[in-house]
Structure 1
Amino acid sequence: MNKERLIFAPTTKQYTRASLTRASLSPDPLLQFHKWYSEAVAFPEPIPESCTFATAQLPSGRVSARVVLFKELDSRGFIVYSNWATSKKNRDVRSNPHAAMTFFWKGLERQVRVEGRTEFITHEESLTYFRTRPRESRIGAWASPQSQAVGDGSREALLALVSEQTAKFDGVEDIPLPEGWGGLRIVPDEIEFWQGGEFRIHDRFSYTRENEGAQWEIRRLAP
């Protein structure tokens, strides 16, 4: 690639699948999300639980984002599971509890944005989920020092870590929860629902609240 500026022509696609109105929204954004998520699963979207999870480290303010798999929605917020001992996102949330998630369901022409504060769920809650994972995935959690450099950089070195842990847990049915591995909940203070509209006149509605327990305010936003 040369050093000349590259300009990508805008797509000619028009978003015509649906519209979104204030009257059609639930007063509770978690219920509205559940409705949209269920429709994404039924559509079906290829991986409806995939979302971009963004964090920022302080004091530098450096932002980091990655695609993760959303796993649980409870009465307080959105839960993802990961390694919180060695990963970059762990360093971020330890210094700055604010985070954001974005879901994009291409087939339905929908996007959901979530912003809020993070909190770790209990060891017992994390263990309950951990036990639902396939055995190989539980061993993988032990084998992966997430985000850290691996040996000589080869895949063989990575697989050697897996083999080591597989041997360690040979014959062990109830593989314990690794220290530092578990769930993180985003308790939202803003959730936005976006429905694509023709000629980029999209429908956007934002739910905001001052603090957890406060009433949600719903506003239409310009696209």
Structure 2
Amino acid sequence: MKIAVVAANGKEGQLVVKEAVKRGHDVTAVVRGENKSEAQHAIIKDLFDLTAADLVGFDVVVDAAGAWTPDTLHVIPDAAKHLSDVLAGSDVRLIVVGGAGSLFVNKEHTVALEDTPDFPDAYKPVSAAHGEALAHLRTLSDVKWTYISPAADFQAEGARTGSYELAGEEFTANAEGQSFISYADYAIAVVDEAESAKHVGERISVYTK
């Protein structure tokens, strides 16, 4: 399988590349400068300069673009929008590394985690940016997208346990009432979805049991 990982030099991007290469896939890093990931190939280009021609022949494109500062948060929804525009009408699947704040906390799907009183104010801007990306994807019928929300506690330095639990649109905690997953285990879920294509046109979520 041919997989392109956008923002492959980032923390999650590097782990997705590592997991995919480990499984024997042909992986291309899309990076603005030197490729620091384990990808066998690289497209040295700003993601917003990518064209349909750049991504022809890939089975899956992973959008791992992230941002944290107020002046860069727009990159999160803008990346999803640009990549979906580029891939529209093609058979290339788009998997987006998403956020947890938009997960629903009620069965009616009217209240999201980010709307609850205990959701930290500091995380609301980045949560809103991820939510905007998801809202855009939901409007599309000509893109084979999948949006994967991590658990609430998304641990960059967390250990790779080698497993995860799959959930849907609703916020889900483990038996101890905790919601967490490491970047490394999240990468496993991304590559699993790349291989299976079981959730095209859906948002799914993952957490550690």
TM-score by length of 1: 0.22
Greater RCO (CA < 8 Å, at least 6 residues apart): 1
* Bigger Cα Rg: 1
Please state which structure has a larger fraction of its residues in helix.
Answer: 2
